[in-house]
Amino acid sequence: MLNKNITFAVIFGLMLLFSIDVDAQWNIPAGEKDKKAPTEATVDMALKGKTLYMKNCKACHQVPKTTNLKPPAPTDLGSEEYLTSRTEGETFFQTFKGNGGSMGGFEGRLSEDEVWDIVHYLGTFRAGSTIDLASVQQDLDLKVNLKEDGHKIVAVATNAGVPAGDVKVLFSVKRYFGNLTLGVAKTNANGYAAVSFPNDLPGDKSGNAEIIVKFANQDRFGKKEVTKTVNWATVLHVENMTEQRAMWGTDTPLWLLFIYFGITIGVWLGIIYVVFQILKIRKVAN
């Protein structure tokens, strides 16, 4: 309990620090403060903003409202302290232009609309926000069939037994540090969506790969996820480079081994011969 308190105290202290100092280095032009979004925020925009946030902002700012700050710890953009001290326009400006320091502007990387989407997403954390992201959440069912013909992965989305059309499904394959997207397909009227497994993607030593199918927009359609192993990947051939007795390797190339010991033994035989000759001197004294 005590530990928790200390942690809280520390983090609160940090926030305090940052709210003072980070503020000080922002130079926001007067007109920007009252700038408004071109359109009213919608759930769709906020969801889009969430996706963009996770990709572009999370690495530094973390998931909003979580306290696992990291050094150097930038502001928690979902915190009361932040949101009550900023207008939408200021957040937009900060995101779009950056501060020339640690916070780089996203101008050129994200469009104005996209930045507004992020602002809308952050707006959902404001006290009294009318947008409730959870309200639109459905819980669709997801099944996956594999078609050997053409190496097709077919996803079937249903809502309480009824085919769900117009739902984006994300197909990916498991890699060591994350999932590699194979494709995103929209379900048709029958709830079907499919992508082909590429014919040049490496798998393990027997050509197996694990595929993961889920809804592209999990906030809307649910977190259902199907994992399957397919044998459609290319077979991995591993050549162990350390086995080649290379000049840079641990094991000496054979030719070098022969040369070294040949020369060394040869020379030392000569030396030993001379030593024996010296010892012979006494014997032949007469």
Partner 1 sequence: MKIKKQLEQKDNNTKNTRREFLKKGVLAGVGTILAGGIVTSFNATASGKTVNVLGPDGKVKTVAKEHLKDIGKKTEAQLQKAGREGIPNRRWVMVIDLGKCKNDQRCMEACQTHHQLWTSKDGKGDKVQHHINVHELKRNEKSGGFFMPKTCQHCDNPPCTKVCPVDATYKRDDGIVLIDNLRCIGCRFCVAACPYSARVFNWHNPKDEEKYADKKYNVELNVPQKRGTVTKCVFSADRLREGELPYCVSACGNGVFWFGDENEDAVTNGTTKETVRLSKLLKDNAAYTLMPELATRPRVYYLPEKDRIFPFESKKKEGDVNHHA
Partner 2 sequence: MSEKKSLNKIVTDLTKPIKNHRWFMLWILFLLSVMGFGLFGWITQLTEGLGSTALTDYISWGLYISGFIFFVATALIGMLISSVLGLLGIKWITPIARIAELIAVGFAMWAGLIIVFDMGRPERLLNVFIHGRLQSPITWDVTVVMTYVTISILLYLLPLIPDMPFLKKTMTDAPKWKQKIYSILSFGWVGSPEQYKIIKRSIKVLAVLIIPVALAIHTVTSWLFAMTPRIGWDSTIFGPYYVTGAFVAGGAAVMIAMYVFSRTYNLKEYITDFHFDKMGKLLVLLMLVYLYFNINEYIVPGYKMKQGDDIHILNLFVGHNAKLFWSVQICGMILPLILFLFKRMRKPLPAMIISIAIVIGAFFKRYIITVPTLEHPAFPADNVPAEYLIYWPNWVEWSITMMAIAGAILIVTILAKLFPIMPIWEVAHEEGITNEEMNEFEV
Contact between 65 and partner 1 per CB under 8 A: no
| 268 vs 275: CA distance, rounded Å | 10
Contact between 3 and partner 2 per CB under 8 A: no
Span of 96-104, 151-159, 185-193, 269-277 interacting with partner 1 by CB under 8 A: 96-104
The one among 149, 189, 248, 255 contacting partner 1 by CB under 8 A: 248
Span of 59-67, 85-93, 152-160, 254-262 interacting with partner 2 by CB under 8 A: 254-262
Q: Fill in the amino acid letter for 86.
A: R
Contact between 282 and partner 2 per CB under 8 A: yes
Residues 222-251 that bind partner 2 (CB under 8 A): 247-250
> What count of other Cβ atoms lies within 10 Å of the Cβ of residue 160?
9
> Cα 165–220–130 angle (5° rounding)?
130
Token representation of residue 79: 């915190």
Shortest distance in whole angstroms from residue 270 CB to partner 2: 5
| 266 vs 79: CA distance, rounded Å | 79
Verify cis geometry, omega within 30 degrees of 0, for the bond prior to 72: yes
Cα 34 to Cα 90, 98, 223, 273, distances in angstroms: 8, 18, 38, 98
Which phi and psi (to 5°) does residue 159 adopt?
A: -120, 105
Cβ nearer to partner 1, comparing 25 with 264: 25
Span of 22-30, 108-116, 212-220, 276-284 interacting with partner 2 by CB under 8 A: 276-284
Is residue 66 within 8 A of residue 79, CB to CB? The reply is: no
| 266 vs 239: CA distance, rounded Å | 37
Contact between 136 and partner 1 per CB under 8 A: no
Cβ nearer to partner 2, comparing 2 with 284: 284
Which phi and psi (to 5°) does residue 24 adopt?
A: -60, -30
Contact positions vs partner 2 (CB under 8 A): 247-250, 252-253, 256-257, 260, 264, 267-268, 270-271, 273-275, 277-282, 284-286
Contact positions vs partner 1 (CB under 8 A): 3, 6-7, 9-10, 13-14, 17-18, 21, 24-25, 55-56, 59-60, 62, 68-73, 101-102, 104, 108-109, 172, 175-181, 201-202, 204-205, 236, 238, 240-242, 246-250
